[in-house]
Amino acid sequence: MGTGWNHWRRNPNLQQQKKNTDMEKDWVKVFASNVSFESEIIKGMLFENEIEAVIINRQDSSFVTMLPGMDEVYVHNSNEAKAKELIAASQEGKIENNP
Has residue 8 been placed in a domain? no
Q: Between these two residues, 76 and 64, which has the higher pLDDT value?
A: 76
CA–CA distance, 25 with 77 (Å, rounded to integer): 9
Q: Residue 35 maps to which CATH number? A: 3.30.70.790
What pLDDT does 42 receive?
96
Please write the tens of the pLDDT for every residue from 20-68: 545 667 999 999 998 889 999 999 999 999 999 999 987 665 555 555 6
Q: What is residue 93's predicted lDDT score, i.e. its pLDDT? A: 81
Residue 39 lies in a domain: yes
Q: Give pLDDT, residue 8.
A: 43
Looking at the structure of the chain, the number of domains it has is 1
